[in-house]
Chains A and B, each alone.
Chain A
Amino acid sequence: MNKVVEELDRVIIRFAGDSGDGMQLAGGRFTDATAVVGNDLATLPNFPAEIRAPAGTLAGVSSFQIHFASEDILTPGDAPNVLVAMNPAALKANIAEVGRGATIIVNEDAFTKRNLEKAGYASNPLEDGSLASFRVHRIPMTTLTTRAVEGIEDASTRDAGRAKNLFALGLLSWLYGRPTEVTERWIEGKFGRRPAVAKANLAAFNAGWSFGETTELLDVQYRVNPATDVPAGTYRNINGTTALALGLIAASVRSRVPLVLASYPITPASELLHELSRHARYGVTTIQAEDEIAAAGMALGASFGGRIGVTSTSGPGMDLKAETIGLAVMLELPMVVVDVQRAGPSTGMPTKTEQSDLLMALYGRHGESPLPVIAPSTPGNCFDVAFEAVSLALRYRTPVILLADTYLASSSEPWRLPAVEDLPSIDPAFARPAEDGSTFLPYSRDERLARPWAIPGTPGLAHRIGGLEKADGTGNISYDGANHARMTELRARKIAGIVDELGPLVVDADPDANLLVLGWGSSEGAIRAGARRARERGHRVALAHLRHLNPLPANTGDVLRTFDRVLVPELNGGQLAQLLRAKFLVDVESYGKVQGQPLWASEIEQLIEERQ
């Protein structure tokens, strides 16, 4: 039948179901197809810490949100326009965030008495009128999938049951005109060795598509045109984890220094270990260490040997690595520590995002132990920041902490591929054997105050380093108070001196704006999107975003003092705000959020409006 095609600028879809329903997979496939269309997009996965929480319960609901548009977008969106709910629990867990008038597509088969009870519904919401303000489509997905898979040789009932996410994907793909080839190719690649499973998934996907085409329940198909207001170039869809991995590898290529990653499995940082483990042929060595402390030690040992030692972790692992990071500060060796922040303290909420490791990254070691701290702002930006982390570590002989977070690591967006030759080359400047027979001074310094990096195997430069305080120049053990003061100051000045190569903090200000909204790390998209909306409504505001948390850009204090009001939204109890108040004596106002979710654009919009 011929259906009306309606054009939309932007759509937010949320796939929600049980942890075992394959919602992350359906969302991921939809994202890849959307990327190929050329829409701008941003995604937000959200899943429980339990691998399989009890089926059908609210605790077990897993969701994946995608925001795609024909124009530049900045966040995965706030309220979904479409909710796909595979069971009552998924409906209940998400309905509060769905805007009135939105479309809800439910798997009708899952709305059994037992499932309704598990989700805590006293009556069936599909029957009791509670969804009257939404456009609800009841589709028996389980039945239709089973019927589609029936007759495929060797496909089991279980295969049919597990393929209903592909049915939903097929239906949504039809509804929004996503190309099918991307998903078909993926099914081939994923299940090629198990033909029956591949056929079952393909059949379910096609059944979903055909259902959309033929059913009279759905009379409109939507089109979201490719985004045109984005820079020319070659793009791919990328999440923060992959971007971090590629950034680290790129820095290894451009410095000619091989990469060694030592890591201990921890949510949500394990993905980086997985990603880098696949790239042995790019000169990447990965070690799954016996614990977090060992992982840090191994990275540092590799650095001593002339490699880029990297260790990746999340909050609890950061606690454990502190002593080794302190040693790296003392040894003045390169090292990169990637902290994919999650909600704490302690085990906290392992799969939920937060930015609450900032002050720990800056100060969480004994003694005076300054080091650079940098934070990426978007999934794609993780590439640039990982590259910069390696560059700083190699050139300043220092550990660097990179503060990513759960949201950045798992969210995705289109990323314009950089030209390899445009990436700066990094000179590791290994110490060369002295030609004139002069004594080697392992703690002499260059113009950046960086010391020589003399790696084992270099004749004539054998030397000993360690955690004990060093005599300036020779590096011999020294307990002299004046020397300790000098060395403490040298280490601090070296890191502070990085400011000379940082650009100024850029401010995007409306004329006569009185309010500055200053963020850091992953909140950039939400802040910009919220400000964009506020501006559309005539409000005036200034925006600035920090990538370098230590050292801060040289003009940071001046920027803060330019505005009557400074608001710092962040996913913690006000850590950056506290730092800025202490450093610059400016009456910074904090907006702290610790709900395990990123900041929403609507929140920022409201915060700006309230301060006009």
Chain B
Amino acid sequence: MTAITEETNGAGGEHALTKADFQSDQETRWCPGCGDYAVLAAVQQFMPELGIPPERIVFVTGIGCAGRFAYYMDTYGMHGIHGRAPAIATGLATARDDLSIWVVSGDGDSLSIGGNHLIHALRRNVPVKILLFNNQIYGLTKGQASPTSELGKITKSTPFGVSDHPFNPVALAIGAEATFVARTLDRDRHHMTSVLRAAAQHEGAALVEIYQNCPVFNDGAFFALTEKETRDVNQIRLEVGRPIRFGVDGERGVAMRPDGRLELVEVAEVGLDALLTHDPGRDDPGLAFSLAKLSSDPTGPTPIGIFRDISRPVYGRGRDRGAGTAASEDELGALLLSGDTWTIA
């Protein structure tokens, strides 16, 4: 996808694109205080940066609260069926290499009913950007456990507590050998925008997990990471080429033990040199996977940022004819005649 700044912006004018160009006329209907509002605002604010006219941008969504996202973007959009957005987007990306394609999905949509499509879109490296809104609950169906709900959680469908081991979406994506995997927070506009920017620049599939608060059915699930009082001690910010450290004064960090496992350490005890330096460009997904598994649940120290960003051939690129042109009448005539033929006068 190359940025096109010269062309019309879809509103018929030549003016620089702004957030308003990406706001549709539809009334947003998420619950008051829903994290989705913050994501929508951040995406609409960020889109002009791409320099791509809105008509070349497509949002494909699944079912769930996040699925409504497509209706609120003044771009092309398809609100699909439950779990299938990555498949629909794969078909679209195969057909059209001139579009910027974004998938918006939730934890139930992507990891439960649509798990198969997610992992295959990632392993194929389809050029789509997948925003996975993870609120660790089924919101639109009013509060059942999701595949990311933590063990023991009481929900309407688990009155005695969740007993199914949850998925870690970042670890799952890395396991599928996704070429770009990141995690960000609905309540940190600046961080989210920086991750979206990197995802947009990435060639190939990008998975961005966004911790998103559901104020109605799972309020505060990520407050340890997002609220002023606790965030400094819990956000492990991954920054390229920098030692991985966190805490109010950077007093803690991540180091590798002699047995290869990662652990949280006190910088004062191990020294700065012992800390792991973050390199999302490592081909081997092992270390990124270990980072993803550093936290089992976002109530304590949890890495955010870009876990993995590597280069691999992009799905559909390098086809000789491309999907863009039908054959000519002459070519068809020759094709029909291929093989043994005979003529009856």
Interface, chain A (partner B; CB < 8 A): 32, 35-36, 38, 182, 226, 228, 230-237, 246, 249-250, 252-253, 255-260, 262, 279-283, 285, 287, 289-291, 293-307, 309, 323-324, 327, 331, 417-418, 420-421, 437, 456-468, 476-477
Contacts of B61 in A (CB 8 A): 466
Contacts of A258 in B (CB 8 A): 95, 323-326
The answer to whether B89 has its CB under 8 Å from any CB of chain A is yes
Residues A457 and B87 in contact, CB atoms below 8 Å apart = no
Contacts of B54 in A (CB 8 A): 462
Contacts of A232 in B (CB 8 A): 344-345
Residues A466 and B70 in contact, CB atoms below 8 Å apart = yes
Contacts of A421 in B (CB 8 A): 329
Q: Which chain A residue lies CB-closest to B25?
A: A476
Contacts of A252 in B (CB 8 A): 326-327
Interface extent on B, as a size class? 35 or more
Count of CB-CB pairs between chains A and B under 8 Å: 233
Residues B96 and A457 in contact, CB atoms below 8 Å apart = yes
Mask, B50-62, CB within 8 Å of A = 1, is 0001111111110
* A–B complex contacts, Cβ < 8 Å, 26 sampled: A35-B340, A232-B345, A233-B344, A234-B337, A236-B336, A236-B341, A259-B326, A260-B91, A285-B323, A290-B87, A297-B88, A297-B91, A298-B90, A299-B91, A301-B88, A302-B323, A323-B81, A324-B81, A457-B55, A457-B99, A464-B59, A464-B73, A464-B77, A465-B77, A477-B26, A477-B71
Give complex CA distance A259, B322 in Å: 11
Q: Which chain B residue lies CB-closest to A235?
A: B342
Residues B81 and A305 in contact, CB atoms below 8 Å apart = no
Residues B344 and A38 in contact, CB atoms below 8 Å apart = yes
The answer to whether B140 has its CB under 8 Å from any CB of chain A is no
Residues B335 and A282 in contact, CB atoms below 8 Å apart = yes
Q: Which 7 A-B pairs have the closest CB atoms?
A: A466-B79, A301-B91, A298-B91, A297-B87, A464-B77, A294-B87, A301-B88
Among residues 293 to 336 in chain B, which have CB atoms less than 8 Å away from a CB atom of chain A? 316, 319-321, 323-329, 331-333, 335-336
Q: Return the contact of B120 from the options A228, A294, A458 (Cβ within 8 A).
A: A294
Tell me how far the C-beta of B179 lies from the nearest C-beta in chain A, rounded to whole angstroms: 18
Q: Given known contacts A231-B344, A279-B335, is B24 in contact with A260 (CB within 8 Å)?
A: no
Interface, chain B (partner A; CB < 8 A): 7-8, 10-12, 24, 26, 53-61, 63, 67, 70-71, 73-81, 84, 87-96, 98-99, 116-117, 120, 316, 319-321, 323-329, 331-333, 335-337, 339-345
Residues A305 and B91 in contact, CB atoms below 8 Å apart = yes
Contacts of B84 in A (CB 8 A): 293-294, 297, 324
Give complex CA distance A182, B12 in Å: 62
Main secondary structure of the interface of B (DSSP, over half): mixed
Give complex CA distance A404, B55 in Å: 39
Give complex CA distance A324, B344 in Å: 46
Q: Given known contacts A36-B342, A234-B341, A420-B329, is B76 in contact with A297 (CB within 8 Å)?
A: no
Q: Given known contacts A235-B341, A250-B332, A301-B87, is B56 in contact with A456 (CB within 8 Å)?
A: yes
Q: Which chain B residue lies CB-closest to A383?
A: B336
Q: Given known contacts A255-B326, A280-B319, is B79 in contact with A465 (CB within 8 Å)?
A: yes
Contacts of B12 in A (CB 8 A): 437, 459-460
Tell me how far the C-beta of A607 lies from the nearest C-beta in chain B, rounded to whole angstroms: 34
Residues B327 and A282 in contact, CB atoms below 8 Å apart = yes
Residues A462 and B76 in contact, CB atoms below 8 Å apart = yes
Residues A417 and B74 in contact, CB atoms below 8 Å apart = no
